């Protein structure tokens, strides 16, 4: 189930989809023992409060009777491949030969209007932002998607996409950190029961190598405030 996260500059992803494959680093953590696959590909998601937009007529009204169009961004899917030839995992030396990771995300916009009369096109701006380490904006672009309503139609959909490029070396864990995460432990090892994710240096390296490609509606301050309080 998706839950809303704190506003925090719209930087907290609501839905994340990685590019997990066999032999990826696996970390086990959390109170329910959640398994997380780690790859160099950026996770994709929708930031809190940026996944829907409401248009009013008149624009300054916030009454339910003034709702004109409501649009929701859904079906977000990412596509990225962080493997080298033959499925081999890259290390930092190999990263120099193939410096960038190309990540693509597709999504659908589902819209509903209150007045079905007449054909109409509604153009909605949306953003794609690459976050580095959860706090740093590495890049951001703004595009527009048009949703077309035929005469008599209340519902309409449109397909959108975005892409981003991430530096492979920056998204690749240092070899010593990777070895800590994938090292097999025997029952009689002194650290057999120690989760490597409890090591501050491991957590810091994981954060430094993490990227997210987030998409959402480019909202005005008024639209953002409306989403945060409804």
Q: Is 181 contained in some domain?
A: no
Q: Is 63 contained in some domain?
A: yes
**Is the per-residue pLDDT at 221 higher than 50?**
yes
Count of structural domains, the chain: 1
Q: Is 145 contained in some domain?
A: yes
Q: Is 1 contained in some domain?
A: no
Cis, peptide link before residue 58, omega less than 30° from 0: yes
Q: Is 179 contained in some domain?
A: no
Domain that holds residue 78: 8-172+209-229
What local confidence, expressed as pLDDT, does residue 187 receive? 67
**Is the per-residue pLDDT at 218 higher than 90?**
yes
Q: Is 186 contained in some domain?
A: no
**Is the per-residue pLDDT at 225 higher than 50?**
yes
| Mean pLDDT on 9-23 | 42
Q: Is 185 contained in some domain?
A: no
What local confidence, expressed as pLDDT, does residue 91 receive? 54
11-25, 104-118, 150-164, 174-188: least confidently modelled range: 11-25
Q: Is 183 contained in some domain?
A: no
pTM above 0.85, yes or no: no
| Mean pLDDT on 157-164 | 96
Instruction: Summarize pLDDT for 44-80 with one digit per residue, the tens.
Output: 999 999 999 999 999 999 999 999 999 999 999 999 8
Confidence of residue 203 (pLDDT cuts 50, 70, 90): confident
Spatial contact of 25 and 40, defined as CB atoms under 8 Å apart: no
What local confidence, expressed as pLDDT, does residue 192 receive? 61
């Amino acid at each position: 189930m998706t839950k809303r996260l704190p506003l925090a500059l719209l930087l907290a992803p609501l839905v994340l989809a990685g590019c997990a494959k066999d032999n990826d680093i696996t970390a086990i953590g959390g109170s329910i023992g959640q398994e997380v696959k780690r790859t160099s590909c950026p996770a994709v998601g929708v930031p809190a409060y940026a996944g829907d937009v409401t248009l009013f007529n008149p624009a300054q009204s916030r009454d339910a009777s003034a709702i004109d169009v409501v649009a929701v961004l859904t079906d977000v899917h990412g596509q990225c491949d962080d493997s080298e030839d033959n499925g081999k995992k890259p290390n930092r030396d190999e990263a120099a030969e193939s410096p960038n990771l190309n990540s693509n995300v597709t999504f659908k916009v589902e819209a509903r209007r209150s007045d079905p009369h007449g054909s109409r096109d509604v153009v909605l701006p949306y953003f794609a932002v690459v976050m580095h380490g959860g706090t740093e904006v590495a890049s951001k672009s703004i595009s527009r998607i048009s949703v077309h309503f035929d005469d008599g139609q209340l519902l309409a959909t449109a397909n959108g996409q975005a892409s981003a490029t991430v530096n492979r070396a920056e998204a690749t864990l240092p070899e010593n950190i990777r070895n800590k995460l994938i090292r097999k432990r025997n029952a009689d090892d002194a650290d057999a029961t120690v989760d490597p994710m409890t090591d501050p240096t491991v957590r810091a390296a994981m954060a430094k190598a993490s990227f997210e490609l987030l998409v959402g509606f480019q909202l005005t301050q008024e639209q953002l405030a409306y989403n945060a309080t409804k």
